[in-house]
Amino acid sequence: MKLKDLLETNIAEFGEYPLLFFKDKTFTNVETKNYAEQLANGLQRLGIDKDDRVIVCMPNCPEVLFAYQGISRAGAIIVPVMFTLHPKELHYIALNSGAKAVITSSYVLQNVEKALEGLPSKPQLIVVDQPSNDQAKNFYDVLAQGESRELGEVKPEDTAVILYTSGTTGNPKGVLLTHKNLFSNAANSAKHNDTERGTTLGVLPLAHVYGLTVSNVCFLTGSSIVVFSSFDVKEVFSAIENYRVKTFSAVPAMIHALVSYPEADRYDTSSLESVGSGSAPLPVALLNAFEQKFGAKVYEGYGLSEAAPVVTAHKKGYEVKPGSVGIPIPGVEVKIVNEIGEELPIGDVGELIVRGDSVTPGYYQNQEESLRVLKDSWLYTGDMARIDEVGYVYIVDRKKDLIIRGGFNVYPRDVEEILNAHEQVFEAAVVGVPDERMGEEMVACVVKKPGNDVTEEELISYCQDHLAKNKTPRRVVFLESLPRNGVGKILKTHLRKAASNIVIKP
């Protein structure tokens, strides 16, 4: 099946119904299809052909989904880009992808125009909320000017999306995702979670593969989605109350914000049954706090862009194991292997590798990196994990975040779980810094809860009470907040740079 088939099947099975809610506007599934078809024809009139790349860079709005479906119908390739990126990052993506067009909004237009400067061939600019001019065309003008033409055949194995990674270790890599990758992952995710028809919240960026998959699942299940241009705690609580939302997907930073919101009790959240958490590790203390406060289950899962993205998730009606990311979804196999690719016994920590229909065929114009992570049809994730005797997966840490102190492996998440459970700690992240004597030492970066005055010495002593001595941080640094990317992942590369200047005393 292809991406456009998600909407075709949705209409055939469920008839016309309100699909998207955005501020004071409502769009049905049939209206969405009409806009998508008009855009496909309009893009073709602008010279966008099969396999041409089209960047979509703007905050969440209905036009993002219209664009995705329209680009797909035109046989072109969607390049979703976070609107929060620096113009230099966007410039690299536009150059590397060879984008023929960019669909954006006035909110980020200035950054987009700056990013397009100096390109050998400037993409056509389409803006959703500005009149057409000499530099850019209005989105709805492009729709109105389209003339229906015969589309080239799109196959399930064709590339549907090029999704650029965050680029925390260099220039971002363009993950190739086929129609088959995305369709199978959405279908298997819906099957695994036994997703019911209803209204959910679109709080995740649609430019991120997690948010994209949530919208695809809505098509498959006949659900509606309340689209948010940004995450606003008050608006989220209002939507849960007004739409009687039973379930939605989020990232740990959002769950943290909901638990911490002082006016949460003013809203009726009794309809809420569960929240899916992914994209970053969820501290067990935060999971427990959410479930106690709202009486709703938290189902943590795991995925990555290269797997389109869902790999594992907790399953409704099955045991929830705090600290675990659940079991593999249908159609996905996982193994734990050592440095030479040999499978490890149950319970041993090693690298998690993944195989299935949702795994990427590789990176765009980057064969060297593709060969590094794809071996014998297995995707090497770079995540350290273990699997228990009944198949639950536990993500221990990123391979690159592993700290080797005095020859012993220390996984930052073990320390972070302890620190996050401290009553005066708002959140914490642990990084390794070079040390002449031990090779690496641990530094804990901590955000205190408001009005607390816990000291470095107290937290180190607290860790010593709960951890082996070699797992105890040598220094604690207090910050006002932890740096995060657009989907709430803590940027440990930034923390390592900041912590590298800290003196570690012998």
Return the pLDDT at 399: 84
Identify whether residues 422 and 316 lie together within a single domain: no
212: nearest Cα among 230, 227, 194: 227
The verdict on 104 and 154 lying in the same domain is yes
Shared-domain flag, residues 164 and 239: no
Over range 452-467, report the average pLDDT: 94
Phi-psi region of 495 (alpha: psi -120 to 50; beta: other; left: phi over 0): alpha
- State how beta strands 53-57 and 101-104 pair: parallel
Confidence of residue 147 (pLDDT cuts 50, 70, 90): low
- Which pLDDT belongs to residue 242? 97
- Could you tell me the pLDDT band of residue 149, with boundaries at 50, 70 and 90? low
Question: Do residue 251 and residue 375 come from a single domain?
Answer: yes
Does residue 15 belong to any structural domain of this protein? no
Residue 441: is its pLDDT beyond 60?
Answer: yes
Distances (CA, A) of 221 to 187, 190, 198: 9, 8, 8
Residue pair 459/476 in contact (Cβ under 8 Å)? The answer is yes
Burial of 71 (0-12, 13-18, 19+ CB in 10 A): buried
Contacts of 418 (CB under 8 A, 6+ apart): 462, 463, 466, 467
Q: Is residue 6 part of a domain?
A: no
Instruction: Encode 274-312: b = buried (16+ Cβ within 10 Å), e = exposed.
Output: bbbbbbbbbbebbbebbbeebebbbbbbbbbbbbbbbbb
What is the pTM for the complete model shown?
Answer: 0.89
Q: For 5-50, how does the pLDDT look when each residue is reduced to its tens digit (9 = 90+)?
A: 999 999 999 999 999 999 999 999 999 999 999 999 999 999 999 9
pLDDT bucket at 407, cuts 50 / 70 / 90: confident
pLDDT at 193 over 90: no
* DSSP, residue by residue, 354-423: EEETTS--EETT-HHHHHHHEETTEEEEEEEEEE-TTS-EEEEEEGGG-EEETTEEE-HHHHHHHHHTST
For the cut 60, the answer to whether the pLDDT of residue 313 exceeds it is yes
Half-sphere exposure (Cβ direction) of 113: Cα atoms closer than 13 Å:
10
Q: What is the mean pLDDT of residues 463-487?
A: 91
Higher pLDDT pick, 489 / 344: 344
Residue 367 reports pLDDT greater than 90: yes
Low-confidence winner among 19-28, 335-344, 437-446 (lowest mean pLDDT): 437-446
Say if residue 394 is in the same domain as residue 407: no
Task: Summarize the confidence of residues 441-467 as an average pLDDT.
Answer: 94
Residue 380 sits in the same domain as residue 441? no
CATH code assigned at 262: 3.40.50.12780
Predicted pLDDT at 409: 84
Please check whether residue 466 lies inside any domain of the structure. Answer: yes
pLDDT at position 402, please?
A: 86
User: Quick one: 262 and 391 in the same domain?
Assistant: yes
Among 348, 383, 398, identify where a domain stops.
Answer: 398
Maximum separation of any 2 CA atoms in the chain, in Å: 73
Give the C-alpha separation, 201 to 273, whole Å.
13
Residue 499 pLDDT > 90, yes or no? no
Number of structural domains (the chain) is 3
Encode pLDDT of 247-256 as tens digits.
999 999 899 9
CA distances from 336 to 39, 63, 298, 353 (A): 45, 41, 25, 6
pLDDT exceeds 90 at position 503:
no
* d(C-alpha 174, C-alpha 195), whole Å: 30
Helix H or strand E segment including 141: helix 139-144
Q: Please choose, from the candidates 212, 188, 181, the residue with its C-alpha nearest in 3D space to the C-alpha of residue 362.
A: 181
Exposed, middle or buried: residue 129 (CB in 10 Å: 0-12, 13-18, 19+)?
middle
Same-domain status, 408 and 390: no
Confidence of residue 148 (pLDDT cuts 50, 70, 90): low
Q: Which of 155, 157, 217 is nearest to 186 (CA)?
A: 217
**Residue at 140 is within a domain:** yes
Q: Has residue 199 been placed in a domain? A: no
pLDDT at 427: 95
Structure tokens at 307: 């797997």
> Has residue 458 got a pLDDT over 80?
yes
Residue pair 379/354 in contact (Cβ under 8 Å)? The answer is: yes
Mean pLDDT in residue range 459-467: 94
What are the b/e assignments for 162-174, b being 16+ CB within 10 Å?
A: bbbbbeeeeebbb
CATH code for the domain in which residue 454 is found: 3.30.300.30
Read off the pLDDT of residues 105-137 as tens digits, 9 standing for 90 and up.
999 999 999 999 999 999 999 999 999 999 999
Q: Is the dihedral of CA 201, 205, 206, 209 positive or negative?
A: negative
Does 40 reside within a domain? yes
Q: Please, are residues 445 and 482 in contact by the beta-carbon 8 Å criterion?
A: yes
Are both 37 and 145 inside the same structural domain? Answer: yes
The domain of 285 spans 231-398
**pLDDT value at 104 more than 60:** yes
CA distance linking residue 232 with residue 62, whole number of Å? 18
Considering 348, 370, 398, which residue would you say is the last residue of a domain? 398
Please state, in angstroms and rounded to a whole number, the distance separating the CA atoms of residues 115 and 13.
42
Find the radius of gyration of the CA atoms of the chain. 23
- pLDDT for residue 500 is more than 90: no
Average pLDDT over residues 256-266: 95
- Is residue 215 one of the residues assigned to a domain? no
pLDDT bin (cut points 50, 70, 90) of residue 417 is very high
Residue 242 sits in the same domain as residue 359 = yes
Stated length of the chain: 506
Of 242, 174, 246, the C-alpha closest to 209 is 174
**Which of 364, 381, 398 is the C-terminal boundary of a domain?**
398
% of the chain at pLDDT higher than 70: 97
Average pLDDT over residues 287-303: 96
Q: How many CA atoms lie within 13 A of 73 on its CB side?
A: 28
Distance (Å, whole) CA 166 – CA 279: 12
What pLDDT digit, counting tens, does each position of 47-71 carry? 999 999 999 999 999 999 999 999 9
Whether residues 132 and 33 share a domain: the answer is: yes
Are 369 and 429 in a shared domain? no
Residue 190 lies in a domain: no
Six token digits for residue 402: 């592993």
Average pLDDT value over all residues in the chain: 93
**Going edge to edge, which strands form the sheet with 53-57?**
137-138, 124-127, 101-104, 53-57, 77-80, 159-164, 174-178, 362-363
**Domain at 81, CATH number:** 3.40.50.980
